[in-house]
A and B are shown apart, each in its own frame.
Chain A
């Protein structure tokens, strides 16, 4: 423990808050029940700043910064929501819906989906971009789980939880741009993976129906994330 902790004071949406050294804006916001939307961030695994939904404005600059990956500094004045930020967030969610095939009505995660919930919260009522309608495969080779790349938003949560919590690093990305895919091992079918421990953490951190337990029908795939804070607490305690 640091015997002389440095505390940073700053404001979020006009509310006076304080951060321990190294804490991110998002972490402090959560401690103070200030909601900043995000799809790639999850408490317990590292932040990569890739969904760009948690972008906030620092007063005095026109620049947007990712709150999940920016350490709080003394005297910052953070604005988490305004017309410009809200518009960007809606557009980003729209882009996700247009990118792959997110059809809630036939999805196992319907009603339990972070993307769906985000769209509702941000007021995305329709998609103004032309859908790309890609045709990705479904890998159901694993005995317990399945992956439908058509529903993947490439947030990387499964990659990180597998690497950082389970320690297997079975998952990673291949290809680039809109052709990026989350793969198991060196792009082998999931069921043939040599490293997968079948722990299922990836399935439960997945924000959408891309990763699901087999045998679940429409809207039955509820995510159980309780394990993550518990495991992280055990890990931090063990240090």
Chain B
């Protein structure tokens, strides 16, 4: 999937993946897509819940080995 921006949050523990995602999102335009790479296992459920509560859309997620990828469209 094509992303407008990629955030590397690998190796970061909760709450940092969300803190950084949120910061990136603030600088993006509505409709743009941010790809997030993370290794924290809790990130999946938390990013989905965070996106929902913030009016964003979690488009897709993938798992490759230890690395999770998420694509979130800014609402």
A binds B: no
